Structure 1
């Protein structure tokens, strides 16, 4: 008797569907970067990252076809103009690749955890490995160029200690304790991701054709700038250095390398990832004032993402995410 494969579940389809859109977008961005990169050490890492997006899309395309699942439209060659002038520096491209590796490790670990079928688990296990390789390649090259941004160091404690009073959690009033290493790490990581957003949004705002999208990208840049300052000030309060930002790595070009559709999708996706990062910071921190800051900023980003979704719908660029059957509508038909 012929053995039929187990049907894909929503837990497997969700990361596959969103992953296809993400890889399709990244593929176009990397094609453009490869046309503009001048550093011969950065080029092979761009080529490696591009090969991964091709590998992922080939697997998912074949899988969707075999399962009879509609392939997303995603992004095409019409969404990139490789001959547009260089918009970002080679150093920024390397930093972008590093963040791709970090984002991939996070996304693929969650996708692996939500998958049951062996072929899908094998796919994400492999992707986890290659995402970590991409991160290590970029981190090594950034370090060799003196561009690797490290979190601040702290003096090592002499002994282990236990917390003696509940005020250790407060941070809202009175004698506020210094940041601990977990809180410092989240602040630094969120400065880096917002720094990436600052630079990208400046470039997108310069190049967007639509006035509405220009305004949206300027708003995104300003939000990222504000959040960088909020997090940096929290580090400075404890006399800790804040990581450098990358907004100076954007050229003065105003010719768009990407379609408005791609830039808007990229912006909304980054903002959504930022909400996840802030949620992780709330869960990992133990000072109540930090939780209050992150929740306030999450609300601001959530409103921004919602407005971005409305722009995608208004321009007919938002592909409908597959979901449950509308049973009530079937009954009434």
Structure 2
């Protein structure tokens, strides 16, 4: 049996273990708060299951990091949520939020596994993936059962396999514009899915934030998200493709505090990071010039706001420093 104590974890393993701990810790408190806001027993069961997974993952991450001599993030506490608050979001949103979180978890854990070397870290990430898969399956089943799962469009099957015969396949600024292909559509709809959740969260955060600086950031974020949503949906409209509906109507008109400003802004920062990653991933799969331009512009716009949020967190001393390399400057 391998003696893990003699093999230190790599920077790649450390980065994902530490960041994963921060994400899980924040998620735990959002899950706890949302669990208390729903009366739907089926949704409650899912949140209980998700919370159990999150606590298990936190415990294992804590063990690995402590054994390696790395301090775990301070994170958040019960002071960052109100357990008996008035509901801020509808059941439909709570289920959609959980689904989006499960999807992001699948992506994070698969990347973490791909960058892991040590056997125990690999096994841990395999367990993370298995848990995320089970959670995602349960969520999709319930969305389908309730009839609220939004499916991306079906496409006609070609008569036979085809090669691309003309470089005009790449064009979109001049001449004929070809229809979007299935990979381009899959990634575009995935970005829209995230934007829809971010918009609804921003509306809820704006209603309940206490600090004026938080309000300004959330409002900037909401404007940016709406502009991005409109840019992407305009493209779908031009291609006569269906558009997923906004979840803005799923926010309940309440101004009662549910989350602290710190945890709200931190969550928004994390979602913007995920959004930029989604744009980057999508950019690598596009084969139309206009999509390349559009995604590049959106990455810049999202990056500007992401930097503003990060600066605010630093000024407030609300963001923890991730372990890094030593400075070798003389």
Q: TM-score range by the shorter chain?
A: over 0.9
Which range is displaced more, 216-225 or 12-21? Answer: 216-225
Is the contact between residue 208 and residue 256 of structure 1 (CA under 8 Å) also seen in structure 2? Answer: yes
Tell me how large the CA RMSD over aligned residues is.
Answer: 1.2
For the residue of structure 1 that corresponds to 2:177, the secondary structure is: coil
Matches for 1:105-124 after TM superposition, within 5 Å = 105-124=106-125
For the residue of structure 2 that corresponds to 1:284, the secondary structure is: coil
| Matched residue, 1:74 | 75
State the distance in 2 between where 1:91 and 1:101 align: 16
| Matched residue, 2:164 | 163
Is the contact between residue 170 and residue 288 of structure 1 (CA under 8 Å) also seen in structure 2? Answer: yes
Provide, for residues 179-212 of structure 1, a one-character-per-residue CA deviation record: whole Å limited to 9, x for no partner.
Answer: 1111111111111110000000110111111111
State the distance in 1 between where 2:163 and 2:114 align: 34
Superposition TM-score, scaled by structure 2 size: 0.97
Is the contact between residue 97 and residue 134 of structure 1 (CA under 8 Å) also seen in structure 2? Answer: no
Provide, for residues 244-285 of structure 1, a one-character-per-residue CA deviation record: whole Å limited to 9, x for no partner.
Answer: 221111011112211111001100100010011001111111
| Matched residue, 1:246 | 247
Unaligned 5+ residue runs, structure 2? none
State the distance in 2 between where 1:220 and 1:176 align: 32
| Matched residue, 1:197 | 198
Provide, for residues 116-151 of structure 1, a one-character-per-residue CA deviation record: whole Å limited to 9, x for no partner.
Answer: 111111110011011111111111111111110111
State the distance in 1 between where 2:179 and 2:135 align: 34
State the distance in 2 between where 1:88 and 1:5 align: 49
Match status 1:18 vs 2:58: no
Is the contact between residue 199 and residue 246 of structure 1 (CA under 8 Å) also seen in structure 2? Answer: yes
Superposition TM-score, scaled by structure 1 size: 0.96
Provide, for residues 276-310 of structure 1, a one-character-per-residue CA deviation record: whole Å limited to 9, x for no partner.
Answer: 10011111110010010000010000011100110
Is the contact between residue 149 and residue 244 of structure 1 (CA under 8 Å) also seen in structure 2? Answer: no
How many Å apart are 1:159 and its aligned residue?
A: 2.2
| Matched residue, 1:324 | 325
Matches for 1:281-300 after TM superposition, within 5 Å = 281-300=282-301
State the distance in 1 between where 2:150 and 2:305 align: 28
How many Å apart are 1:174 and its aligned residue?
A: 2.0
What number of residue pairs does the alignment pair up?
A: 328
How many Å apart are 1:95 and its aligned residue?
A: 0.7
Is the contact between residue 16 and residue 60 of structure 1 (CA under 8 Å) also seen in structure 2? Answer: yes
| Matched residue, 2:43 | 42
Is the contact between residue 192 and residue 245 of structure 1 (CA under 8 Å) also seen in structure 2? Answer: no
Highest relative contact order (Cα 8 Å, sep 6+), 1 or 2?
2
| Matched residue, 1:88 | 89
Unaligned 5+ residue runs, structure 1? none
Matches for 1:105-254 after TM superposition, within 5 Å = 105-254=106-255
How many Å apart are 1:161 and its aligned residue?
A: 2.0
State the distance in 1 between where 2:35 and 2:273 align: 27
Provide, for residues 31-82 of structure 1, a one-character-per-residue CA deviation record: whole Å limited to 9, x for no partner.
Answer: 1111111111111110010001100111122222222211211111111111
